[in-house]
Structure 1
Amino acid sequence: MLNTWGSYYGDPDIKLHADIPEIESFIDPNGNEQFYISTDGGTYHSSDALNSVWNISLDGLRVSQYYSNYSNPTNPEKIYLGSQDQGFQESLPGTSAIVEFDQTISGDYGHICSGDSGISLWTVYPSFAMRIEASSMALKFYDFVGSNYLWMQPIIADWDNADKIYAGGGGVNGGAHIIEISYNGSSLSGLEQSFDFAEGNANEKIASLAISAINTQYRYVCTTDGDFFYSTDGGLNYAKNINFAAPDNHYFYGNEIVTSNVDQAKVFVAGSGYSNPGVYVSSDNGQNFLAIDNNLPQTLVYAMAITPNDELLFAATEAGPFVYVDSLNSWFDLSGVSAPDQKYWSVEYIPLINTARFGTHGRGVWDFYS
C-alpha cells in the first residue's frame, strides 16, 4: 500500500486514488521497469517499483468526467466544473482556445448553481453541500442529516436570496423533503421543510426541483417514482399531478426540470426516454403535459438549458448534444463531425456569447455557438 485512501484528497499529484481498475508495467529500452496505475483520479507513473508515483493526468489531458458546468454570465471565460473523482475545478486565465482548469478540491461534485451570477457558487458532494466564494475560492460545508437522499442530491438557487439554496432530500427521519440551506456570513445551516413528497413510500426520493426565474412563487418537484408536484404559492402548498408519470431519473443524479424564460406557467421535464418520450412540456404550471420527442432518439436526458426567448431548448443526453427548435417542433443533433462521441451530462446557455456550453463525461467541455 502506497497511501491511505484519504491521502489522495489533499495531495492528488503524488497520492493514489483508491479506485484502481488497472496496473500495467513494461521494460523500457534501458532495462528499467515502468509502471502505469490507472485510477479514478487519473493515471500515475512510477519508475521506482511503486515506491512513489506521479499523477500524469493533471495537465493537458482534458478527459475529466464532468457532471456539471457553470460559467460566469458576465465573464463566460470563467468556468466552474464538477467532476467524477477529479474534484471541483475552475478555469485558469490564458489566451489559448483550449482552456486549462485547476482542481481546487478533490472528490465528486455536481449540480453547480448560483443565485448571484457567479459571485458565490453552490455544489454538492454525495454527503454534503458546499458554498464557494468565487473571488477567494473559500469553502463552507453543510453535512446532510438523515437518510433517503440521492447519491448526488439535486440543488437549486433561491432567486430572491443568493445566500440560500434548496436541496432535494431525504430528511432527518427519512421521507422526501426539501432542505433549505442558508449562509449567515460565516457558516451554513439547514432547515427541513415539512411537506413529504414520498407520501409514505419509504424508497421514494426527490429527483429534481425548480423555481421559475420569472415568478418565484411557481415551484416544481419531481420524485424518483415519477410523481410531479407543483406550487403557485412559493412552496407553501404543493399539488400532485395524478395523471402524469415523469420520465425515470438517472439512478444517482436525478432528472431535469427547466422553466420557461417568457411564460411563468410553462415548464419542461426530462429524463430516461428508452421506453417513453424523454422530454415533456406543460403550459399550465404542471397540470397537463405533452411529449416533445420528434426526432429525439431513445436516450437518457441528463440536463437541459433554454434560450432567453424560449426558441431553442438544448439537451445533454446519453446519445450526444441536441437542440429543440420550438418553431419547427423538432429536435436536431448538434454533433456534426467534430464533437466527441460521448455522454453529454450537463449544459448551460450563455446569452452574452450566444453559446450552449456542454459538459461531457470523459471528453471535457464543448461550446456550440451561432
Structure 2
Amino acid sequence: MFRRTSLAIAPSEPRTVYAIASNDNDGVLGVFVSKDMGDTWSSIGGTHFRREGQMSYGITIAVHPTNAGHVLCGGVDLHRTTDGGVTWRQVTHWDAERGAEKYAHADHHCLAMPSAAPGRVYDCNDGGMDRSDDGGRKWKNCSNGLAVTMYYDFDVAPTDARSFGGGTQDNGTCVTEDGRPDTHGEILGGDGGWMVYNPQRATRRYASYYNFNIFRFRGSAEPTDVSPPATKAERDAIWMCYITIDPNKPKTVFTGTSRVWKTTNEGSLWKPVSGGLDGSSITAIEVAAANSKYVYVGTENGGLFRSVDGGKSWSGNLAGAQMPGRLVSRIETHPSQESTVFVTTAGKGSSHVFRSSDAGLSWTDIDQGKLPDVPHSAIVVPADDPDALYVSNDTGVFVTYDGGNSWVNLSRNLPNVMAADLVYHEGEGTLWVATYGRSIWRIKVR
C-alpha cells in the first residue's frame, strides 16, 4: 500500500513526473515515473532500494533542471540515476567519516537542484544542509551558521555561563566551553539525551543517549560509561532518561526508568531505590534545593510520587483529581521551601501548570486556561527571584509574578518553534531557551 510519497516534475520535460513512495513497513514501496503527467506510471526502482528505511520520516526526490533522466532521491541515504532509472547508485553514506566526499548526514527531507546552477544540489537533512556541485557525486556540509539544531534538553554550567549545551535530535550531545556560537562540538553520539552540569564545577557533567546510556565527564579525561546496571528489557523500554544532581551533594545523582535509580558516588555504583511506581517511564525528577531529602518524581502516565527521606521510601501516587493525567514534563521546587512544588504537563485539552504548597498532598491549577492549550515542557523558579515563575511550551515562553493570577508572554523575538527547555543562570541573570528546531536563545531578565 502507498504511504508517504514525494513527487518531482522534470523542469526540462514538464510532462515527466517522478515519485518515490513508502510502504507499510517503513521501507520503499517503489520509485515510479510517468511520461504523461500522471495518467500512467512505470516502476523504475527495481530492488535497489530494498535496504532503505525510515521512509515515513525522511523521503525526498528531485530532478535535474536540464536532464530529465537525472534524478536524486532517498530517505536515510540518497541515490542517483542519470538514465531515467535504468541504473541506480547510492551516492551518500551516513556512516562514512565526516568530511569524506560521500558523507552526508542521515535522514533526508528536501532536495533542490537550482536551474541557475545545473549540477548543484542542496540537501536538507537531520544534520542541517549538505551540498553537491557535481550532480550528487561529492558532498560537503554547509551548516555553519544555521541555527536549526533540535534540542531535547539543555543545561548551562552554574559556575560558568560560557559552558552550555544539551542533547539533540540525531546530532548527539553538543556543547561549547567558551560561549561562542561557532564552537559547539559533539561530545556523545546518537540521539542526545539528558545532560546536566555539576553545580560546583563547570568541567564536570553527565550526558546520555537513548536506552539508559549515561556517561560521566571530568575535565579533559575520556568520558566514563556510568550507565546503571538495569536489565536489557528495562533499558530498551526507556527512550530518554531524566538525570538530576542533588544541588547540595553533587556526588548524589538520580535517574530513572520505570523505577528510580540513585548513586552517591558520581555513578560508580547505582542502586534502584523504588519499585515500578505506576509502571510507566519516569519523565521528571526534582531534588529540592531547600532540603535534599525531598525528592519528587513524575511519570509518563501523569503520576507524581514523593520521597521525604532521600529515596529510601516513596509515597503513593499524589496526582489528585486536579491533575490531568498527562505526561509530567517538569517538576520544580521553591528555592527555600521544599514543600512548595510546581509541575508542568504535556498534552492538550487541560491546564498545564500546577502548584502544591503541601509537598504534593493537594494541587492548585495556576494555568487556569490563561496559557496556550499546548504541551508545556519546562518550568523555572529563580533562586534570586522566587516570585517569578517561567514556563516554556510549544508556542514560546511565559512568566508570572503573582503566582499565576496573570501571565505575560515573554516570547518576543523567539522563532515560531517549540521551546523545549528552560534554564535560569543566577550568576548572569539570564533565561536560556533551547528550542526544537531553532537552536538556543537567551534573554537578560535580572
Fold similarity call, TM over 0.5 = yes
- Maintained 8 Å contact 2:243/2:254: yes
1:255-266 equivalences under 5 Å are: 255-266=329-340
2:432 to 357, 361, 364: 357
Other-structure match for 1:38: 124
- Maintained 8 Å contact 1:74/1:352: yes
For residues 105 and 229 of structure 1, do their structure 2 counterparts lie closer, same or farther at Cα, with a shift above 3 Å needed?
closer
The CA distance in 1 between the partners of 2:338 and 2:178, in whole Å, is 38
Other-structure match for 1:162: 250
The CA distance in 2 between the partners of 1:106 and 1:188, in whole Å, is 22
Question: Normalized against structure 2, the TM-score is what?
Answer: 0.70
Other-structure match for 2:315: 239
1:54 to 117, 140, 153: 140
Q: Does 1:211 align with 2:297?
A: no
1:216 Cα deviation after fit: 0.9
1:223 Cα deviation after fit: 1.8
CA RMSD in angstroms comes to 2.6
For residues 299 and 367 of structure 1, do their structure 2 counterparts lie closer, same or farther at Cα, with a shift above 3 Å needed?
same
Q: Which amino acid aligns with 1:129?
A: I
> Equivalent residue of 2:427, what SS?
helix
The CA distance in 2 between the partners of 1:315 and 1:13, in whole Å, is 42
1:287 Cα deviation after fit: 0.8
> Equivalent residue of 1:195, what SS?
coil
Q: Does 1:368 align with 2:368?
A: no
User: Alignment length, in residue pairs?
Assistant: 346
The CA distance in 1 between the partners of 2:194 and 2:269, in whole Å, is 19
1:321 Cα deviation after fit: 0.9
Q: How high is the sequence identity, in percent, across the aligned residues?
A: 24
> Equivalent residue of 1:138, what SS?
coil
Greater RCO structure (CA 8 Å; 6+ sep): 1
For residues 247 and 137 of structure 1, do their structure 2 counterparts lie closer, same or farther at Cα, with a shift above 3 Å needed?
farther
- Maintained 8 Å contact 1:227/1:246: no
Which residues of structure 1 form unaligned runs of 5+?
170-175
The CA distance in 2 between the partners of 1:68 and 1:242, in whole Å, is 24
For residues 286 and 298 of structure 1, do their structure 2 counterparts lie closer, same or farther at Cα, with a shift above 3 Å needed?
same
Other-structure match for 1:226: 302
1:268 to 333, 342, 349: 342
- Maintained 8 Å contact 2:395/2:417: yes
Question: Normalized against structure 1, the TM-score is what?
Answer: 0.84
- Maintained 8 Å contact 2:273/2:311: no
1:1-370 equivalences under 5 Å are: 1-2=90-91, 4-7=93-96, 11=98, 15-29=103-117, 32-57=118-143, 59-91=144-176, 93=178, 100-117=183-200, 118-127=202-211, 128-133=213-218, 135-136=219-220, 138-143=222-227, 145-148=231-234, 149-169=237-257, 176-180=258-262, 188-198=268-278, 201=279, 204-240=280-316, 241=318, 243-244=320-321, 246-247=323-324, 255-272=329-346, 274-294=348-368, 295-308=370-383, 309-326=385-402, 329-336=405-412, 338-370=413-445
Other-structure match for 2:20: none
- Maintained 8 Å contact 1:246/1:270: no
1:245-290 per-position Cα deviation (integer Å, ceiling 9, x unaligned): 644556xxx6111111011111111112522210111111111111
1:45-72 per-position Cα deviation (integer Å, ceiling 9, x unaligned): 1123333211111x11121111222212
1:322 Cα deviation after fit: 1.0
Q: Which amino acid aligns with 1:306?
A: V
For residues 23 and 106 of structure 1, do their structure 2 counterparts lie closer, same or farther at Cα, with a shift above 3 Å needed?
farther
The structure with the larger Rg is 2
1:92 Cα deviation after fit: 5.5
For residues 193 and 61 of structure 1, do their structure 2 counterparts lie closer, same or farther at Cα, with a shift above 3 Å needed?
same
1:306 Cα deviation after fit: 1.1
> Equivalent residue of 1:21, what SS?
strand
> Equivalent residue of 1:76, what SS?
coil
1:192 Cα deviation after fit: 2.6
- Maintained 8 Å contact 1:115/1:158: no
Which residues of structure 2 form unaligned runs of 5+?
1-89
Higher strand share: 1
For residues 91 and 48 of structure 1, do their structure 2 counterparts lie closer, same or farther at Cα, with a shift above 3 Å needed?
same
Q: Which amino acid aligns with 2:381?
A: I
- Maintained 8 Å contact 2:303/2:325: no
More displaced 10-residue stretch of structure 1: 144-153 or 285-294: 144-153
- Maintained 8 Å contact 1:88/1:106: yes
For residues 280 and 273 of structure 1, do their structure 2 counterparts lie closer, same or farther at Cα, with a shift above 3 Å needed?
farther
> Equivalent residue of 2:153, what SS?
strand
> Equivalent residue of 2:104, what SS?
coil
- Maintained 8 Å contact 1:346/1:358: yes
